[in-house]
């Protein structure tokens, strides 16, 4: 199909994003759907005696490639360039795309064609990646309902449609309710305690909306994380902190954007889907082929870590309450939720004489990115450079890079989009736009991916100066990106991040370790004005404070994982009644005792409810993979964090392998043994 006529179909690795406009979506997706369906129909028409691996399984692998490319671009734009026209076009096509994808494993003729080959002697002779793809495809079809009777397949298709629509509505509500709020302050005294960087950003935000003048300045705060987090952490004005905290709690909860009923509906649909597929609950359905295997197993993992952290968690909060009592001269008591971050920062400052803001000047974003690239080059044998030529991205702030193997082979391209915009959803994420494949001449076509976030913006002519935890986020998403770009799997659907969800965070989380080492920090942590590295005394304070309230941080992650699992293991508990109270009861031991009970974050928890599956029943994966990453990094610590042989082993055993083998085997190939959970507890200072 002509790329000018159907720009979303363009096979170009680097598309001209200015041509991908909402008015082109309907025609492009309709055409791609017709092409994809014709490819599926061709497989269905294969006579049983003529069935081969090539005309069944491999034909299925390539079927719908145009649709996947086109819809992937549409989906990406909804995340970074939202508009009413784009929403309307997306909503119009979403049911059709969902119908196509959900019908594939429910297509009796297609399943019959696949089984025609599967029952032949040739199927038993498959080896290597072909054997893996064969096994995974059969498992995918069975897990998705291929063996169901027709009436159940029909209902399953309807469930998939409803889930796609309702989860998109959930995501839209979160974005819209986030953007609907602004707080304007014209009394600078109310901003006491805020770092200059936060005040400058708030002033710049106000100017961008036409608020205030040089003579009468105004400061604007929003519910974007870089705007409201500093208020909760630093603002001396308790009423200001309270206002921001309470407004953030209303994301996905206020006015027409209330997600409460959507959550109940999504839970009911997921439970019905699980039961249709013969599983007790959605967690068991989702986890059956992940490392955890079942909802009960994931809960047991979560509860085990909870027991190991509980005493330290309670001690940390007791220390914080005592500190507040000492500083205020009042009786020791529980804290208000909007006071926790503020007083925790005061306590950390007193214990370690360390303030995150002191590190900002050493983390200009361009320096962070350049240093991160040099570190990856050194460890993994790569070369990364700015893309030469037109970038044609979806926003002027987006940059494009080329990634080469050290030997000169082009491995892929990637976009980086780091700062918040109103048309861009919150958080940070990696995604892939194209997966390379072997070519007839023996070469491999390049992959294409992207990394994006909502980091601190440039202010007053200065570069964007990041907090250390933002630096960790950049490294984290880059780890996901490397997992995609370094993939060497010959079958696209098994490449890169298409792995068991509780394994996918290993490549991302392990990269964060290089943000804590003196030698690696010297590669990029340089003062934006003087070029000086982080002073040794400041580095020592940063490291000393690393595990400050680590049990509290761990418990927060565990509480979110526990909430997720409870919602999807026992969903019937949440169909009626006070959603917040029921969640609070389910995770009561995981929560600190506070004067005012805050609302649950469930209504803005996009990880769980902004897509049909996403991290639903899988949020525990962050901690599961953290066990893997803490343990795997011990090999780097032992052999050298810049040891090229160790880096090559990680690239060969993990990053290049995608889902070509069982993840437990891949980990064992790198470490020579099964994971040791003690490594994580030791790193957190809890063992």
Instruction: Summarize pLDDT for 272-283 with one digit per residue, the tens.
Output: 999 999 999 999
- 3-class secondary structure, 129: helix
Catalytic sites, residue numbers? 477
Q: Mean of the pLDDT values across residues 316-339?
A: 98
Structure tokens at 524: 């990029």
| Core vs surface per residue 518-545: b (16+ CB within 10 A) or e | eebbebbbbebeeeebbeeebbebbeeb
- Nearest residue to 75 via CA among 144, 174, 160, 171: 171
Q: Is the pLDDT of residue 1 over 60?
A: no
Cross-strand pairs, 386? 401
Distance CA 126, CA 128 (A): 7
- Give the confidence band of 3 by pLDDT, cuts at 50, 70, 90: low
Strands 410-417, 429-434: pairing kind: unpaired
Largest CA distance in the chain: 86
CA distance linking residue 270 with residue 357, whole number of Å: 43
Token pair listed for 56: 């069944």
Residue 461: its pLDDT value, please? 87
Chain-centre distance of CA 484, in angstroms?
A: 14
Query: DSSP per residue over 496-523, as a string?
Result: TT-S-TTTTTHHHHHHGGGGS-HHHHTT
pLDDT band with cut points at 50, 70 and 90 for residue 389: confident
Percent of the chain with pLDDT over 90: 95
Non-local CB neighbours of 628 within 8 Å, separated by 6+ positions: 503, 506, 509, 667, 675
pLDDT at 687: 76
Give the per-residue pLDDT at 604: 96
Q: State residue 8's pLDDT score.
A: 97
Does residue 2 register a pLDDT over 70?
A: no
Residue-wise pLDDT for 118-131, tens only, equals 999 999 999 999 99
Global pTM exceeds 0.85: yes
DSSP 165-225: HHHHHHHHHHHHHHHT--EEE--GGGGTT--HHHHHHHHHHHHHTT---SSS--EEE-SSH
The pair phi, psi for residue 159, each rounded to 5°, is -60, -45
Residue written as tokens 């901690």?
623
On average, the pLDDT of the chain sits at 96
Structure tokens at 569: 């293991």
Mean pLDDT across 530-555? 96
Region at 640 (left for phi over 0; alpha for psi -120 to 50; beta for the rest) = left
* Tens of pLDDT, residues 352-365: 999 999 999 999 99
Given a cut of 80, is residue 574 above it in pLDDT?
Answer: yes
> In angstroms, rounded to a whole number, what is the distance separating the alpha carbons of residues 430 and 40?
30
Separation between Cα atoms, residue 543 and residue 95, nearest integer Å:
50
What number is the average pLDDT over the span 146-164?
A: 96
Q: 386, 403, 456: which is closest to 428 by C-alpha?
A: 456
Tell me the pLDDT tens digit for each residue of 79-95.
999 999 999 999 999 99
Joined tokens for residue 366: 């361009």
pLDDT tens per residue across span 26-58 = 999 999 999 999 999 999 999 999 999 999 999
Confidence (pLDDT) at 501: 87
Tally of CA atoms within 13 A in the half-sphere of 258 that contains its CB: 8
pLDDT of residue 194: 97
């Amino acid at each position: 199909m002509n790329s000018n006529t159907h720009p979303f179909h363009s096979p170009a690795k680097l598309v001209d994003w200015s041509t991908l406009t909402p008015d082109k979506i309907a025609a492009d997706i309709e055409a791609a759907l017709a092409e994809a369906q014709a490819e599926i129909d061709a497989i269905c028409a294969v006579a049983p005696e003529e069935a081969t691996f090539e005309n069944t399984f491999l034909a299925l692998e390539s079927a719908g490639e145009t649709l996947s490319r086109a819809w992937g671009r549409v989906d990406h734009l909804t995340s970074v360039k939202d508009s009413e026209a784009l929403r309307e076009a997306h909503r119009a096509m979403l049911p059709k795309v969902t119908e196509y994808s959900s019908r594939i494993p429910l297509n009796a003729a297609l399943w019959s064609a696949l089984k025609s080959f599967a029952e032949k002697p040739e199927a038993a002779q498959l080896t290597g990646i072909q054997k893996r793809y064969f096994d995974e495809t059969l498992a995918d079809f069975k897990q998705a309902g291929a063996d169901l009777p027709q009436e159940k397949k029909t209902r399953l298709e309807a469930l998939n449609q409803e889930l796609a629509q309702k989860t998109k509505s959930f995501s839209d509500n979160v974005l819209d309710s986030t953007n609907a709020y602004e707080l304007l302050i014209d009394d600078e005294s109310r901003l006491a305690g805020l770092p200059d960087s936060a005040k400058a950003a708030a002033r710049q935000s106000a100017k961008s909306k036409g608020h205030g003048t040089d003579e009468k300045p105004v400061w604007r705060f929003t519910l974007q994380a870089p705007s409201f987090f500093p208020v909760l952490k630093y603002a001396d004005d308790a009423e200001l902190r309270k206002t921001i905290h309470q407004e953030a709690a209303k994301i996905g909860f206020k006015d027409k954007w209330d997600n409460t009923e959507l959550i109940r509906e999504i839970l009911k649909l997921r439970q019905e889907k699980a039961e249709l597929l013969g599983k007790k609950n959605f967690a068991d359905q989702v986890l059956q082929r992940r490392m955890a295997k079942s909802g009960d197993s994931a809960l047991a993992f979560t509860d085990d870590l909870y027991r190991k952290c509980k005493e330290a968690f309670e001690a940390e909060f007791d220390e914080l309450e005592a500190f507040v009592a000492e500083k205020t001269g009042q009786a020791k008591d529980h804290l208000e939720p909007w006071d926790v971050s503020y007083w925790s920062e005061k306590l950390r400052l007193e214990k370690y004489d360390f303030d995150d803001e002191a590190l900002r000047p050493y983390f200009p974003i361009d320096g962070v990115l350049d240093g991160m690239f040099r570190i990856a080059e050194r460890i993994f044998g790569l070369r990364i450079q700015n893309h030469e030529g037109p970038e044609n991205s979806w926003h002027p702030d987006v940059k494009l890079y080329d990634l080469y193997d050290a030997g000169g082979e082009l491995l892929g391209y990637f976009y980086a989009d780091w700062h918040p915009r109103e048309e861009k959803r919150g958080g940070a994420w990696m995604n892939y736009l194209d997966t390379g494949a072997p070519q007839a001449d023996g070469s491999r076509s390049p992959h294409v991916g992207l990394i994006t976030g909502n980091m601190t913006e440039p202010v007053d002519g200065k570069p964007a100066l990041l907090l250390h935890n933002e630096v960790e986020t950049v490294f984290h998403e880059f780890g996901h990106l490397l997992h995609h770009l370094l993939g060497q799997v010959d079958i696209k659907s098994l490449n890169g991040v298409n792995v068991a969800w509780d394994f996918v965070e290993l490549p991302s989380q392990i990269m964060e370790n290089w943000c804590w080492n003196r030698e690696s920090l010297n590669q990029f942590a340089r003062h934006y004005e003087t070029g000086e590295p982080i002073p040794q005394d400041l580095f020592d304070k940063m490291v000393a404070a690393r595990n400050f309230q680590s049990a509290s941080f761990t418990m927060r992650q565990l509480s979110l994982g526990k909430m997720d699992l409870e919602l999807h293991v026992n969903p019937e508990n949440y169909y009626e009644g006070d959603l917040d109270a029921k969640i609070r009861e389910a995770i009561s031991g995981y929560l600190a005792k506070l004067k005012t009970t805050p609302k649950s974050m469930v209504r803005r928890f996009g990880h769980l409810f902004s897509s049909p599956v996403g991290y639903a029943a899988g949020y525990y994966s962050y901690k599961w993979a953290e066990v893997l990453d803490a343990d795997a990094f011990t090999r780097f610590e032992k052999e050298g964090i810049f040891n090229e042989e160790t880096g090559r082993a990680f690239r060969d055993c993990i990053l290049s392998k995608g889902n070509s083998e069982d993840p437990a085997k891949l980990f064992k190939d790198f470490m020579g043994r099964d994971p040791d959970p003690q490594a994580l507890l030791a790193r957190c200072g809890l063992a």
